[in-house]
Structure 1
Amino acid sequence: MLFEKTYGIDLGSSSVKVYSMIRNKSYIEKNMIAAKGRKIIAVGNEAYEMFEKAPSNISVSSPMAFGMIANLELQEIVLYSMMRKIDKILGIGSVMYFAVPLDMTAIEKRAYYQVANGHWLRKNRVYMVEAPIADAIAMGVDLENNEGSMVVNIGAQSTNFSIITGGRIIISKKIPIGGRQMNEAVCSEVRKRYNLQIGTRTGKRLKLVMGRLADQHKQARKVVGIDSVSGLPREEVISAYVVNAGIMNCVNEIGAQMKVFLERIPPQIAYHIAKEGIFLTGGSTRIPHIDTYLASYTGYSFNLSDLYETSSVTGLEKIIHDRELRKWAQPITQRKL
Structure 2
Amino acid sequence: MWNKRLGVDLGTATTLIYVNGKGIVMNEPSVVALAKGTNKILAIGKEAREMIGKTPEYIVAHRPLKGGVIDNYEITRKMLTHFIQSTCGRSIFKPDIVICVPSGGTEVEKRAVLDAAYHAGARKAFLIEEPMAAALGAGLDIAEASGNMVIDVGGGTTDIAVLSLGGVVISQSVRVGGDKLDEAIIRHLRKKFNLMIGERTAEILKIEIGWAVPPREEKAADVKGRDLVSGLPKMITITASEVYKCLSEPLSSIVDAARIILEHTPPELAADIGEKGICLTGGGALLHGMDEMIGKALLTPTYVAEEPISCVALGAGKVLDNLKSLREGFLYTKRRNS
TM-score, normalisation: structure 2:
0.90
Aligned to 1:7: 6
Deviation at 1:178, TM superposition (A): 0.7
Give me the whole-angstrom Cα distance separating, in 2, the residues matched to 1:166 and 1:223: 49
Aligned to 2:301: 301
Deviation at 1:33, TM superposition (A): 0.8
Letter in 1 for 2:293: Y
Deviation at 1:172, TM superposition (A): 1.1
Deviation at 1:322, TM superposition (A): 5.5
Contact residue 100 and residue 130 of structure 2 kept, 8 A: yes
1:93-104 equivalences under 5 Å are 93-102=94-103, 104=105
Aligned to 1:172: 171
Aligned to 2:154: 155
Give me the whole-angstrom Cα distance separating, in 2, the residues matched to 1:8 and 1:34: 25
Give me the whole-angstrom Cα distance separating, in 1, the residues matched to 2:306 and 2:143: 23
Deviation at 1:81, TM superposition (A): 1.5
For structure 1, the residue ranges without an aligned partner over 5 or more in a row are none
Say if 1:236 and 1:335 are closer, same or farther in 2 by CA, change over 3 A: closer
Deviation at 1:24, TM superposition (A): 4.1
Aligned to 2:217: 217
Per mean C-alpha deviation after superposition, the further-off stretch among 121-130 and 236-245 is: 121-130
Aligned to 2:249: 249
- SS for the counterpart of 2:50 is helix
Tell me the C-alpha RMSD between the 2 structures: 2.3
Contact residue 223 and residue 238 of structure 1 kept, 8 A: yes
Letter in 2 for 1:283: G
Q: Say whether residues 1:284 and 2:291 are aligned partners.
A: no
Which digits, 9 at most, give the CA deviation of each residue in 1:133-189, with x for residues without a partner? 111111222222232221111111111111112321121111111101101111222
Deviation at 1:331, TM superposition (A): 6.0
Aligned to 1:53: 54
Deviation at 1:208, TM superposition (A): 0.4
Deviation at 1:105, TM superposition (A): 4.2
Q: Name the count of aligned residue pairs.
A: 334
Which digits, 9 at most, give the CA deviation of each residue in 1:300-330, with x for residues without a partner? 1112113222111111223345576577773
Aligned to 2:310: 310
Give me the whole-angstrom Cα distance separating, in 2, the residues matched to 1:181 and 1:17: 21
1:105-254 equivalences under 5 Å are 105-118=106-119, 121-122=120-121, 124-212=123-211, 213-254=213-254
Contact residue 31 and residue 64 of structure 2 kept, 8 A: yes
Contact residue 100 and residue 129 of structure 2 kept, 8 A: yes
Q: Say whether residues 1:71 and 2:76 are aligned partners.
A: no
For structure 2, the residue ranges without an aligned partner over 5 or more in a row are none
Say if 1:81 and 1:123 are closer, same or farther in 2 by CA, change over 3 A: closer
Letter in 2 for 1:265: T
Say if 1:71 and 1:151 are closer, same or farther in 2 by CA, change over 3 A: same
- SS for the counterpart of 1:216 is coil
Letter in 2 for 1:286: L
Contact residue 144 and residue 166 of structure 1 kept, 8 A: yes
- What percent of counterpart residues are identical? 28
TM-score, normalisation: structure 1:
0.90
Per mean C-alpha deviation after superposition, the further-off stretch among 303-312 and 208-217 is: 208-217
